[in-house]
């Protein structure tokens, strides 16, 4: 019987999608499936550099050849219907439609909405690149068609999460949402009240 929950995470670059994915992993035992990591492995197999530009180009290439639903199908290969998954980096309407159709009531989509300047500052703090991008460079990355597709998914979200300076506030919003939709509680609360992670005793 399929009991696992799938949470899709979308939003513009550096909006904090991975922060939510990592929280789901650490507090709810979700397995994180990342489009970026999937694409990075493809680039590494080719011996190509891995950066935001090459990831965007690879995403467009595979999206064109496989369709974004096909790309998502590959990402979700070998998943267990009894486990929970966070799909980090949903960026296209057909990918979202595929996830909704496949997982039905077991799927929800969370969109991170954070203003550009805050996202640029967060990107610089993370220093994923050798040199943090200037604001102009950040805007150029954001101007790509991939990012435009990601922004268009906001209206399809089950939950829109803004930026929270205090991470505890972000976690509280996620906790409340999962509790309301799935009676799902963090591990610490589940142990305290004697229920399982899925909220069943």
- Dump pLDDT digits (tens) for 19-63: 999 999 999 999 999 999 999 999 999 999 998 889 989 999 999
Q: What is the pLDDT of residue 191?
A: 54
Angle of CA points 101, 111, 184, to nearest 5°: 70
CA 144 to CA 20: how far, in whole Å? Answer: 24
pLDDT band at 199 (very low <50, low <70, confident <90, very high): very low
| pLDDT recorded at residue 189 | 73
φ/ψ region of 113 (left if φ > 0, alpha if ψ in -120 to 50, else beta) reads beta
Domains plus CATH for the chain?
Answer: 6-193 (3.40.50.300)
Residues β-bridged to residue 21: none
pLDDT value at residue 142: 85
Does 16 score more than 80 pLDDT? yes
User: Coil, helix or strand for 146?
Assistant: helix
Looking at residue 145, its pLDDT comes to: 76
pLDDT band with cut points at 50, 70 and 90 for residue 197: very low
Listed range (55-59, 68-72, 116-120, 140-144) with the worst mean pLDDT: 140-144
Single out the residue of 6, 84, 76, 81 nearest to residue 35, CA to CA: 76
Q: 145-185, pLDDT tens digit by residue? A: 778 888 899 999 999 999 999 999 999 999 999 999 999 99
What confidence score (pLDDT) does residue 193 get? 61
Going by pLDDT thresholds of 50, 70 and 90, the confidence category of residue 194 is: low
Q: Is the dihedral of CA 97, 103, 105, 111 positive or negative?
A: negative
> For position 2, what pLDDT does the model report?
80
The pTM score is: 0.89
């Amino acid at each position: 019987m399929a009991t696992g929950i799938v949470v899709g995470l979308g939003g513009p670059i550096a909006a904090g999608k991975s922060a939510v994915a990592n929280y789901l992993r650490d507090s709810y035992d979700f397995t994180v499936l990342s489009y970026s990591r999937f694409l990075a492995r493809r680039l590494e197999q080719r011996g190509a550099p891995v950066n935001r530009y090459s990831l965007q180009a690879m995403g467009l290439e595979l999206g064109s050849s496989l369709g974004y639903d096909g790309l998502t199908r590959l990402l979700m290969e070998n998943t267990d219907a009894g486990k929970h998954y966070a799909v980090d980096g949903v960026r296209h309407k057909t990918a979202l439609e595929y996830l909704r159709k496949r997982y039905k009531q077991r799927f929800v989509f969370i969109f991170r909405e954070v203003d550009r300047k805050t996202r640029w500052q967060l990107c610089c703090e993370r220093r994923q690149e050798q040199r943090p991008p200037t604001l102009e460079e950040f805007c150029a990355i954001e101007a790509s068609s991939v990012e435009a597709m990601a922004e268009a998914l906001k209206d399809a979200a089950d939950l829109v999460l803004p930026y929270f300076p205090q991470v505890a506030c972000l976690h509280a919003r996620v906790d409340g949402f999962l509790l309301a939709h799935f009676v799902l509680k963090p591990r610490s609360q589940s142990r305290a009240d004697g229920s399982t992670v899925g909220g069943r005793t």
